[in-house]
Chains A and B, each alone.
Chain A
């Protein structure tokens, strides 16, 4: 995944906070090993995935309306 703040690319294993955290099992937030910025690992959050889907559907609908008009 890519840090939204500093652009550093890192893997789940490299994430600073997640793998060793006792709560890592349910925690969808991982931290960039370079700057500490918290990024959501969307694959681990049902609500985050749902929000992205709704957002994508909304954009699709908006574009469809634009084309039709």
Chain B
């Protein structure tokens, strides 16, 4: 093999550009880089970024070549920092060759990059790495045919065993070729590309690729250097005209058409022997994202969640903790222990109607903890199994209909974990429009794990019809508001690329540790809030303000929502956290003060509240106080209006629960 990095064997330096390794994440690119360079590697941040780029030297066919290892990317045309760095290296350093490292088990992913390299007019060699794993799974790739279609050398490697390096060195030594793979788009887009190319500076390298990126809406400032403002305006006008032909964002359409071209190639060269190799997890993983078969999977997951959290957590465990532990022992012990206190006000503060023990601790430990404990356990199982990214793929389809595309799905699904965190995750979105839209939807209709657990637990007791109505109202609201927001808020959407980890059996140690850590966090964060909320209610009641607030809110709570006046207290608590308000409503229902319809209406209202005070603070931090107040100012009245409409409709139709 003539492919090594020891100084002794290095000959005269090459006159061409570097050899650049490009590939998807986790395909063994860095292992290959290590094998090629061996020593003399420098790792530094790419200028102006936090992305690390490694450079080393290798001897290829007696020439000393600089080898550059770029960050793993799924697309060269996406707007992320890693993608930009890789793109800049390819455009500015004009490599003598690119080694496109593919995971042979997932060839189509690499072919997307191959199509983009072809568009960028960069010569490359395709390396089918992890070839052994692919063969073990019964995957056959016709390398000769693939080489013929692409017009470049295709070699097989197993980097972890240093296999195939001779073939790679040979391919690099034999002057890598430009690919003839040309992803063609439909007539309108091709015409748009032609028009944009005509406007680009003459002699621009990779002009077609730049034109595609401009049409897709990516910032290609370097390529546009020297272009007049008028040219930039004309490009924008072409893009706008073209966008008017499609319902989906143009970047998404271009990506889909490129993927289609890639699929056609994969269909010809890629086959899997049936019954060989593919593990059950692989089959289940594919089922979970299938447009039709994936739906029963989602429903089955939700049903199991409902049974575990709603029936077991909120039923069996809460009955035991509230009825037996607190009802028979803790509350009585607390009453006995405080009997000696002479001041009635202090006694009431501890064990009265709004007492720290009888209300705050009872709610927090006897009702909320078992419900969120079971929910956290279920959520950790889902997370560790790799199902959540697949759920993102499933919900991406309906989300597209409301103008919410791509990466927006990730924070929406993560919102099921914690809305406050998910609000921050909206930073990964490209446009302010999407960020604001997702933040609004998160605050309005995506309950976090704790809130979902409590609300599911409570509503589970009302029966399947109530669960369906609650879920229907919530989903309808989510879609209606999302759709309207996408029309009202200015800006454009972005594309969706979701890396899917393998589906696997959850590791018990991970699940236990995560569940315990989340429960600890919840106890630390929420119990103090419960105590503060209870103390506030106690104070309001002592000064007589509670009854006045109830009277003031009476037209809304009693008139519009059809609830008893006491429910006002729970909505007040809901301003601190939705689940605190929900658990108060749960308590009212258990005392027989709410019938099933009233429970349903009140839970719909509390689910649509702003999630918690921390979430409000996060919106202030991310968007400023004015936007945060506007979001909350929209959400709270909106929640009451939806609840009121549900109440009036259910009564008018005389729907029984």
Contacts and interface: CB of A to CB of B under 8 A. Distances in A.
Interface of A: 4-8, 16-17, 20-23, 26-29, 31, 34-38, 40, 42, 45-48, 50-52, 55
B420 interface: yes
A47 to B, nearest CB: 4
Contact of A27 (B425, B427, B510, B521): B521
6 contacts: A6-B501, A8-B25, A22-B618, A28-B520, A29-B421, A52-B513
Contacts of A52: 509, 513
B521 A16 contact: no
Nearest to B518: A29
A10 to B, nearest CB: 11
Contacts of B411: 36
A20 B424 contact: yes
Contacts of B424: 16-17, 20-21
Given A6-B26, A38-B383, A40-B518, 5 more contacts: A16-B421, A28-B518, A42-B517, A46-B520, A55-B509
A38 B420 contact: no
Given A20-B424, A22-B420, A29 B501 contact: no
Given A6-B26, A22-B614, A22-B617, A40 B517 contact: yes
A1 B417 CA distance: 20
B75 to A, nearest CB: 15
Contacts of A36: 410-411, 414, 425, 428
Interface in B529-548: none
B516 to A, nearest CB: 4
Contacts of B417: 29, 38
Given A22-B617, A26-B524, A4 B517 contact: no
For the complex of A and B, the 3 pairs showing the least CB-CB separation, nearest first, are: A17-B421, A45-B517, A47-B516
B514 interface: yes
A4 to B, nearest CB: 6
B76 to A, nearest CB: 17
B520 A45 contact: yes
Contacts of A29: 417-418, 421, 514, 517-518, 521
B133 interface: no
Nearest to A23: B614
Contact of A6 (B383, B499, B521): B499
Contacts of B521: 26-29, 45
B512 interface: yes
Contacts of B386: 5
Contacts of B520: 28, 45-48
B621 interface: yes
Interface in B250-291: none
Contacts of B510: 4
Interface of B: 25-26, 383-384, 386, 389, 410-411, 414, 417-418, 420-421, 424-425, 427-428, 499, 501, 509-510, 512-514, 516-521, 524-525, 614, 617-618, 621
B513 A51 contact: yes
Nearest to A17: B421
Contact of B517 (A5, A21, A22, A28): A28
B576 to A, nearest CB: 13
Given A5-B501, A26-B521, A31 B513 contact: no
Contacts of A26: 521, 524-525
Given A7-B26, A35-B499, A36-B414, A27 B516 contact: no
Nearest to B524: A26
B383 A37 contact: yes
B69 to A, nearest CB: 15
Most buried by B among A21, A26, A36, A37: A36
Contacts of A7: 26
Contacts of A38: 383, 414, 417, 421, 514
Contacts of B512: 51, 55
Contacts of B25: 6, 8, 34
Most buried by B among A6, A31, A40, A42: A40
Contacts of A21: 420-421, 424, 614, 618
Contacts of A48: 513-514, 516-517, 520
Contacts of A55: 509, 512
A45 B516 contact: yes
B34 to A, nearest CB: 16
B525 A23 contact: yes
A59 B621 CA distance: 45
Most buried by A among B414, B427, B513, B519: B513
Contacts of B525: 23, 26-27
B519 A47 contact: yes
A55 to B, nearest CB: 6
A27 B519 CA distance: 10
A38 B428 CA distance: 16
B612 to A, nearest CB: 9
